[in-house]
Amino acid sequence: MRRFVAIALSSTLVLQVAPLLAAPAAPARAQAPAATGAIQGTAQSATGQLLPNYTVQLRNLQTGQLAGTTTSNAAGGFSFAGLNPANYMVEIINQSGAIVGSSAAIGVTSGATTTVAVSAAAGAVAGTAAAGAAAAGAAAGGISTAVIVTTVAVAAGITGVVVATRPNASPSR
């Protein structure tokens, strides 16, 4: 009798699962690609001199996190593509790792490319005697990224910006 009950129960379970196994798989739905934007621009000195081979960073102003890093080309040009809609800031970094220039807040919208020119502070461009002193001053405790991000965010009317800092972090990081 136990054997009969066991066979009956297992047969019932198999019959209930069989239609699920035989059903055709649901067609995969194609997800629409997320609409993104881009930023392109030129890194230059305060006097308009192009800045080739400078590190250019893109910072998301809502999160304070880096959204990308690239190097300016021979004509000082740079670009960041595939950006989610948000407010960003472009930072120019000299060879010593100090931020020598930054843009105002840049609003990125879906499907649009924004063009910007970012100027380095006067005397902060490598190749001059003042540049070395300025870079050393910035690296030794000059303008911090937290100050720049907060200032630009406030100027853009963005509230709730949180910038995490480490007091023992290297200025080049």
The predicted model gives 137-155 an average pLDDT of 49
Q: List pLDDT tens digits, range 40-71.
A: 999 999 999 999 999 999 999 999 999 999 99
* Lowest mean pLDDT across 5-19, 47-61, 148-162: 148-162
Where do the domains of the chain lie? 37-155
Return the pLDDT at 165: 53
Query: Which stretch of DSSP H or E encloses residue 71?
Result: strand 66-71
Confidence of residue 135 (pLDDT cuts 50, 70, 90): very low
* pLDDT exceeds cutoff 80 at 129: no
* pLDDT exceeds cutoff 80 at 102: yes
Closest CA to 110 of 11, 37, 50: 37
SS3 state of residue 119: strand
Q: Does 140 or 106 have the greater pLDDT score?
A: 106
* pLDDT exceeds cutoff 90 at 19: no
Mean pLDDT value across the chain: 74
Closest CA to 3 of 75, 50, 11, 134: 11
Query: Which stretch of DSSP H or E encloses residue 55?
Result: strand 55-60
Burial (CB count <10 Å: 0-12, 13-18, 19+), residue 80: buried
Q: How far apart are CA 94 and CA 166, in angstroms?
A: 21
Q: Does 68 or 121 have the greater pLDDT score?
A: 68
The token pair that represents 64 in the structure block:
């304070």
Q: Does 77 or 129 have the greater pLDDT score?
A: 77
SS3 state of residue 121: coil
The CATH topology of domain 37-155 is Immunoglobulin-like (2.60.40)
**pTM for the whole thing?**
0.56
* pLDDT exceeds cutoff 70 at 160: no
Return the pLDDT at 76: 96
Query: Which stretch of DSSP H or E encloses residue 134?
Result: helix 129-139
The predicted model gives 99-115 an average pLDDT of 94
Burial (CB count <10 Å: 0-12, 13-18, 19+), residue 103: buried
Which pairs from 64-71 meet CB under 8 Å and 24+ separation? 64/146, 64/149, 64/161, 64/162, 64/163, 64/164
